[in-house]
Amino acid sequence: MMHTVHSYIRLFCIIWINISTITALNPIIIKGQKLFDSITKDQFFIKGVSYQPSGANQTIQDPLANADACARDAPLIKELGANVIRVYEVDASQNHDACMKVLEEHGLYLVLDIGTSTSFIHREHPAYDVPIYNAYRSVVASFVTYPHVLAFIAGNEVSNDNATTQAATYVKAVIRDMKMLMRQNKSRAVPVGYASNDDPSIRESIKDFFVCGDDEDSQADFFGVNLYEWCGGSNFDTSGYADRTREFEAYGKPVFLSEYGCNLARPRAFDEVEAIFGPRMTPVWSGGVAYEWTQEKNDYGLVKIVDGQVQPMKDYENLKQRLTVVDPKGIHMDEYNAQPTSRQCPPITESWKASTILPPTPSEGACRCMKENLSCVSSDAVVLSTSNATVGAQIDIMCGLVDCGEIREEREKYGIFSSCSPADKLSRLYHLYVAGSNNSAQCDFNGYARPALPTRNNMALCSLIKPDIKGVPSMSTITTSSSILTVLSIVLVYTIRL
């Protein structure tokens, strides 16, 4: 009996495997420093092309919402010899089914940057708050279900020189939270990583920073380098590729060229392709992404779009000649012994200042709870103008008048409401000022504030409310009774401990 059941299961598995290999691209998984097809267990090499045709005027450019353009371009990208596209920005509110289907039909995996031009970690003024967190996670949520999403990139060239290294701490928090989100939600664990520029003064530290520390959760699953060192008639040794390869030899996690294709000599010959997929680089790297599909102002195009039609340029033909003949030799997953590696975090120096103490996961519930206790809050006048300096300027003014410890972060100490939205932070400051002023201050502040009726009378436990991964704010059902709140909070805290 047991035997029969087993046979059935086996038969079922074989059929399922066959169906899945025919109708869908198999998810790509990571073992040690390499990528593998999760079903065939063959090593996978990224033969990618950046895909971000500039659209009309919208603030967020979403090439994967343009079904016509996807249908037009996918066959040509396949013909180029590519198996991956890298997209830098999407709009999570759009439907992506049509484009994702076309990509799948043409054997194209997706590497997706999950920040957008409106929600991202700012390299000079890094902050990680509820609106930014929600934006990242809505992108992850809308793509995690496609099996041919190869990877999420949590940041592209965010810390790009020795003056912007502190922002890396925030990107690492995004990585931690997106990995946690997928795990808690029992989604497929799409790898989450980082794409770096190639700045000599931080190159060594940044590659270590993203994979360092004891907390596996906050480590990047892979590291990409946007590498433009090989220009014109260069070669593996003189270009710098040999040095870069040596640096990543025992990295322990997959690395790939998240962009390549120096354009100082045009048309580009793409001589580097032979090296990227050749025997000196494939033991270390998992391929690369040529920059970029369409001709834009910066002159890196493979094709021109004229009146909606594609015109392949010489660069397209040259890259195609290279990409269609390379045949990287990989290893079978079962034969590959991944060595466990652990890496020390880079020390803080003059040129590297990224702390390993990460900001907390932003909690919408905690901020809502806090706001419910306020009798003076920011008005629509500031809420509506978050895109200009009003909120920031008001926060600066108020921080001169009341204690800002709760909303600020100073020297690696993150205030309990430091990840609330700017408008919520400002509300807290207005309230503190009015409440602490012997009843003399008006809740107005040139119209930026308005009185509110508190629905809560105790915010001691607000900051303990954890983010709700299902997107349902955890505090929405709580009434004004503080005893209910207390009971609930205790339950919450208890659950958190568990």
Ligand X SMILES: *[C@@H]1O[C@H](CO)[C@@H](O)[C@H](O)[C@H]1NC(C)=O
Q: Which is nearer to ligand X, 178 or 319 (CB)?
A: 178
Q: What is the dihedral of CA 169, 286, 202, 352, to 10 degrees?
A: 30
Distance CA 360, CA 21 (A): 41
Q: How far is the CB of 438 from ligand X (least distance, A)?
A: 4
Write down the least CB distance from residue 471 to ligand X, Å.
8
**List of residues 6+ apart from 34 with CB closer than 8 A:** 43, 44, 254, 286, 330, 331, 333, 336, 338
Q: Which of 216, 247, 249, 259 is catalytic?
A: 259
Where do we find the tokens 């008639």? 233
Tell me whether residue 290 or residue 382 sits nearer to ligand X (CB atom).
382
Question: Would residue 157 show up in a list of annotated catalytic residues for this protein?
Answer: yes
Q: How far apart are CA 109 and CA 74, in angstroms?
A: 11
Which lies closer to ligand X via its Cβ, residue 56 or residue 264?
56
> Please, which residue, 298 or 438, has the CB nearer to ligand X?
438
User: Of 185 and 356, which has the nearer Cβ to ligand X?
Assistant: 185
Residues of the chain by 3-state class (helix, strand, coil), percent to 5:
35, 15, 50
The partner residues of 129 in beta bridges, in order of sequence, read none
**How far apart are alpha carbons 333 and 344 in whole angstroms?**
27
* Residue 167 Cα distances to 36, 64, 161, 206, angstroms: 31, 28, 11, 11
Nearer to ligand X, 141 or 345 (CB): 141
Answer for the pair 92, 130: CB distance below 8 angstroms, yes or no: no
What minimum distance in Å lies between the beta carbon of 375 and ligand X?
6
Residues 6 or more apart in contact with residue 316 via CB below 8 angstroms: 76, 80, 302, 303
By CB under 6 A, name the binding residues for ligand X. Answer: 56-57, 137, 140-141, 144-145, 161-162, 181-182, 185, 187, 201, 350-351, 373, 375, 381, 384-385, 388, 390, 436-438, 454, 457, 459
Cα-based distances in Å from 50 to 140, 288, 293, 308: 19, 10, 6, 19
Q: Give the nearest distance from C-beta 161 to ligand X in angstroms.
A: 6
Q: Closest separation between CB of residue 436 and ligand X, Å?
A: 6
Whether the CB-CB separation of 128 and 316 falls below 8 Å is answered with no
Q: Is 259 a catalytic residue?
A: yes
How many other C-beta atoms can be found within 10 angstroms of the C-beta atom of residue 473?
17
Cβ nearer to ligand X, comparing 48 with 63: 63
In the complex, which residue's CB is closest to ligand X? 385
Smallest distance, ligand X to C-beta of residue 341, A: 26
Cβ at position 481, least distance to ligand X in Å: 14
CB 91 to ligand X: min, Å: 16
- Cα separation, 370 vs 428, whole angstroms: 8
Q: Which of 79, 89, 105, 157 is catalytic?
A: 157
Q: Which of 290, 309, 312, 311 is nearest to 300 (CA)?
A: 290
CB proximity list for 386: less than 8 A, separation 6 or greater: 422, 423
Q: Which two tokens stand for residue 74?
A: 């996918």
How far apart CA 195 and CA 202 sit, in angstroms, is: 14
Q: Which amino acid is at 312?
A: P
Nearest residue (CB) to ligand X, 107 versus 405:
405
**Alpha carbons 487 and 495: distance in angstroms, whole number:** 12
For the CB of residue 420, give the shortest distance to ligand X in the complex, in Å. Answer: 14
Q: What is the DSSP string of 109-122?
A: EEEEE---SSSS--
Pair 257, 289: CB distance under 8 Å: yes
CB nearer ligand X, residue 9 or residue 348 = 348
The Cα 376–Cα 194 span in angstroms is: 41
Catalytic residue IDs: 157, 259
